[in-house]
Amino acid sequence: MQHVRTIDREDGPAALDVAGVSHFYGRKQALENVSFSVRPASFTVLLGLNGAGKTTLFSLTNHLYDTRHGTIRVFGHDINRESGEALRRMGVVFQARTLDLDLSVRQNLAYHARLHGIGGQEEARRTAAALEIVEMSDRVDDKARNLSGGQMRRVEIARALLHSPALMLLDEPTVGLDIRSRAGILKTIRGLVKSRGLAVLWATHLIDEVDDGDDAVVLRQGEVAARGRVRDIVEASGCGSIGEAFALLNRAETAETTS
């Protein structure tokens, strides 16, 4: 299937600009020449099967690994050369749970706030506002271990919002959650795109989390297999839905692997 319209910059720098990024674990190549952009105030889906390279790309964008091949910029700031400026504009929700289970919700958020130099009344104000967004205000004094999986994820989202990022990265944020929790979290994040102009990169393998109007990047074996508006990807594939297009792309992967 041919590539479709690139998600390009409009006025000013992209919220996230990934250009020619490759990554190796030893001799094994995990990403190959990955390029795409996330527009400000947009919802972009990073769609790929497990092992496609989504988490590796997130780790590079978070500067957990150095980018040795290609460049990653956040609102124009190179993640290698200006990591402080880039990370300041970014909020992250990792696939693995990262709350301290022995601390309360308030304490988990306070620790994160102070890492960003936020304390005192400002910390309290931001904590209250973030928990209200994710509908967890009534659990502020509960220990994290007493929350459900969906509630923990909501607290992690609140924590990621404390320093007012302009870009949010979420790596498989609904994995292991029930349908209702998944839908609620997705609704919250989409709402932030509209109400706050947040730019979002949402990594998933779940087709029902993708809307026709979303921007999308389809990763296949560490390469960009398609990118653009979801409706354009579907049209270019000759399929009737993004689910069918995604399946077609991954059948192509199987055919290439076995040929």
- Tell me if 114 sits within 8 A of 168, measured CB to CB: no
pLDDT of residue 7: 42
Interval 109-127: pLDDT, tens:
999 999 899 989 999 999 9
d(Cα 112, Cα 106) in Å, to the nearest integer? Answer: 10
Q: Which two tokens stand for residue 5?
A: 């319209």
Q: Are residues 184 and 219 in the same domain?
A: yes
Q: pLDDT band at 85, cuts 50/70/90?
A: very high
* Domain annotation covers residue 214: yes
Is 4 inside a domain boundary?
A: yes
Looking at the structure, tell me whether residues 200 and 122 fall in a common domain: no
Let me know whether 40 and 143 are in one domain: no
Shared domain check, 117 and 79: no
Give the CATH number of the domain where residue 19 resides: 3.40.50.300
Report the SS3 class of residue 19: strand
Asked if 174 and 159 sit in the same domain, the reply is no
**What are 236-245's pLDDT values in tens digits?**
999 999 999 9
Q: Does residue 223 fall inside a structural domain? A: yes
pLDDT tier, 253 (very low <50, low <70, confident <90, very high otherwise): low
- Shared-domain flag, residues 159 and 179: no
Which pLDDT score, from 0 to 100, does residue 250 have? 87
Angle 154-160-164 (CA atoms, 0-180°, nearest 5)? Answer: 125
Asked if the model's pLDDT at residue 10 lies above 60, the reply is no
Residues 119 and 28 in one domain: no
Closest CA to 213 of 192, 190, 188: 190
Write the CB contacts of 128 (distance below 8 Å, at least 6 apart in sequence): 137
Structural domain ending residue among the three candidates 115, 136, 164:
164
| Residue 8 pLDDT greater than 50, yes or no | no
In this structure, is residue 258 part of a structural domain? Answer: yes
Are 196 and 246 in a shared domain? Answer: yes
One domain for residues 146 and 173: no
Final residue before a domain boundary, out of 141, 164, 187: 164
Q: Are residues 140 and 54 part of one domain?
A: no
Phi and psi, residue 44, nearest 5°? -115, 130
- Does 94 map to a domain? no
The tokens of 211 are what? 């809307």
pLDDT at 259 over 50: no
H helices, E strands: number in the chain: 8, 10
Q: Residue 80 corresponds to which tokens in the numbers above? A: 């290698």
> Residue 53: what pLDDT?
94
Is the dihedral angle over the CA atoms 107, 108, 113, 117 positive or is it negative? positive
**Where are the extended beta strands (E) located within 94-222?**
167-171, 199-204, 215-220
Cα R_g (the chain), whole angstroms: 18
- Percent of the chain, pLDDT > 70? 93
Is a pLDDT exceeding 60 seen at residue 3?
A: no
- State which of 149, 164, 179 marks the end of a domain: 164
Q: How many domains does the chain have?
A: 2
Is there a domain that residue 247 lies in? yes
Could you report the per-residue pLDDT of 193-219, keeping only the tens digit for each?
Answer: 999 999 999 999 999 999 999 999 999
* Residue 146 pLDDT greater than 60, yes or no: yes
| Domain limits for position 114 | 99-164
Same domain, 206 and 236: yes
pLDDT digits (tens, 9 = 90+) for 31-69: 999 999 999 999 999 999 999 999 999 999 999 888 889
Shared domain for 174 and 67, answered yes or no, is yes
CA-based nearest residue to 55, from 188, 205, 197, 176? 205
Distance CA(252)–CA(240), nearest Å, equals 17
